[in-house]
Structure 1
Amino acid sequence: MSFFNLIFAPGFFASAPVQTALVIGSAAAIVSALIGVFTVLRGQSFAGHALSDISSAGGSVAFLLGISALWGFLGVAVLAAGALELAGLRRSKERDLVTGIVLGAGLGLTALLLHLDIGTRSSGGAAISVMFGSIFAVPASMIVPMLGVSGLAVLMMGLIYRPLLLTSLDPNLASAQGVRVSSIGLLHLLILSLAVTLSAMTIGAILSTALLIGPAAAAVQIAHRPGRALLLAGLFGLIATWGGVLLAYDSYTWTPGQAWPVSFFITSLVSLIYVAARLWAKRPVARRTAEA
């Protein structure tokens, strides 16, 4: 048996669901990691987490109406992003307070919608799909729309890269240089809503924060330049996503007839990557201390 066959189970690359999962998973990982770097630098990780959870209401209403979950996630995430920015709060305590209230309301609405899903459509799997994802069940017809959402997010980031980076590092300096900080903040949250939509479709709304924050936080730990942080974050996101899909596929042979959830493997790999990055970042400090 070759080394290749030891890693990749037979039929892995030939499987249509796997091919779809790798494409949409890669798109979600890259977009989430890139905007995640700016989210970490801006200290808005909680806002990203809130948008992820609030978007579950959109996935729930999509199941209820019988439409694509993509548009449900996207619609609610965009509305929530606009609401958070239009609140006009700049101090972190006030922002987190409003974010927490909106988050609670969003999750309460999700509970109601999922209850209606089960009661009216007998869709017992709706809660699992919305909250924890079902990447192997995403139809190939969703590849084009999801790549379109990904392309839009990357294009928006490219167009506002410099002011977005400046407002993330020093909003006061950005304001002094004439940058419209509030407008950039709104655009950041709108891009964030696109990333949340993509990750919700892959690993579920409640776990999508892992792809959004984990790779970005790991990259920021070990990269000293924004460009390198973006590249590393994208790489870490792809490693976690591809590794998660591979391990989930291989798990069919671990417990015959029942595969382990992709979301479990992706979030676990993200956690391991972050821990490894933290340890790597501390190595030079420990060395200098020992030499002193």
Structure 2
Amino acid sequence: MAPVLFAAGFFTDESVRTALLIGGSAAIVSAVIGVFTVLRGHAFAGHALADVSSAGGSASFLLGVNPLLGFLGMAVLAAGAMEFLGNRRARERDLVTGIVLGAGLGLSALFLYFDVTLRNTTGAAVAVMFGSMFAIPASSVPLALAVALGALAILALIYRPLLLSCVDPELAQMRGVNVRLIGLLHLLVLSLAVALSAMTVGAILSTALLVGPPAAALKLSARPGLAMCLAAAIGLAATVLGILLAYDSFYWTPGHGWPVSFFIVMLVCLAYLLARAGRRSRAA
């Protein structure tokens, strides 16, 4: 039988619709805020927030609450700690980020241990660290969409001062921009983005959605507005196609579908390599 692009049941499966809605919203938010994260050189902070959020995801399995609430709560707490304990010097900021990261991973290890020993949730570690998009309950959709819209709304409000702070922090201060407040709001939006992406592709791999599409977009355009649109398109395309390929993979190896996160991350990497090659060809 000839292979088909859309396997039977793809459009009628509730788990697929849930994955598309939550995964798509996570990809768009992560890509848009990721442009500013890359411009500010805060990729390490984004990676740290994603890893620390795993402690919240692990705790959600232990407490029996919505996983997004766990990822979100821990990511926001970590963002606040990184902002208030750090300072403007990059070295000190990275040091504090590393300390917060270590503490978060320690809590994650403890909660995962309790998940296995007390609740017997043996799949918690895989779901938290690498994602389990087809297992996300449909009841999480309203909260996920609300978080995504809230993150985009905050970003729209601080767009101009945040952009100026990224380009020239000293000039931003001279023009009356509260750089510390803008930095805190940036970290807040960043924490919302990584919480969404951590719940979809996993805490370990969520940085790919945060950094990959923006990095590819900035290779194609130096204009922030256009770069955000391109990054959102790349992230959304990689997520949708990744979900499609993961669903189809159940027919490649019957009963054993491939991880969604694997396809999404590989597609994001491919997009970056193509964008980099395209830029080099134009420069030649």
TM-score range, shorter chain: over 0.9
In structure 2, the partner of 1:174 is 172
d(CA) in 1 for partners of 2:43 and 2:189?
A: 14
Alignment of 1:6-155 (within 5 A): 6-155=4-153
One-letter amino acid of the counterpart of residue 64, structure 2: G
Of residues 9-18 and 158-167 in structure 1, the stretch that sits farther from structure 2 once superposed is 9-18
Runs of at least 4 residues off by over 4 Å: none
Q: Provide structure 2 residue ranges, at least 5 long, that are not aligned to the other structure.
A: none
Of residues 72-81 and 88-97 in structure 1, the stretch that sits farther from structure 2 once superposed is 88-97
d(CA) in 2 for partners of 1:100 and 1:243?
A: 34
Q: Provide structure 1 residue ranges, at least 5 long, that are not aligned to the other structure.
A: 287-292
Q: Is the 8 A contact 2:219 2:279 kept in 1?
A: yes
CA RMSD of aligned residues (A): 1.2
d(CA) in 1 for partners of 2:103 and 2:158?
A: 31
Q: 1:212 aligns with which of 205, 210, 213?
A: 210
d(CA) in 1 for partners of 2:132 and 2:238?
A: 16
d(CA) in 2 for partners of 1:103 and 1:266?
A: 24
Q: Is the 8 A contact 2:18 2:141 kept in 1?
A: yes
Q: Is the 8 A contact 2:50 2:75 kept in 1?
A: yes
- 1:251-272 Cα offsets, whole Å, 9 max, x none, are 0111011100001101111111
d(CA) in 2 for partners of 1:95 and 1:67?
A: 33
What is the CA distance between 1:76 and its match in structure 2? 0.6
Percent pairwise identity: 63
What is the CA distance between 1:6 and its match in structure 2? 2.8
What is the CA distance between 1:93 and its match in structure 2? 1.7
In structure 2, the partner of 1:203 is 201
Q: How many residues are aligned here? A: 284
In structure 2, the partner of 1:253 is 251
d(CA) in 1 for partners of 2:126 and 2:272?
A: 26
d(CA) in 1 for partners of 2:92 and 2:269?
A: 29
Q: Give me the TM-score of the superposition, normalised by structure 1.
A: 0.95
One-letter amino acid of the counterpart of residue 262, structure 1: V
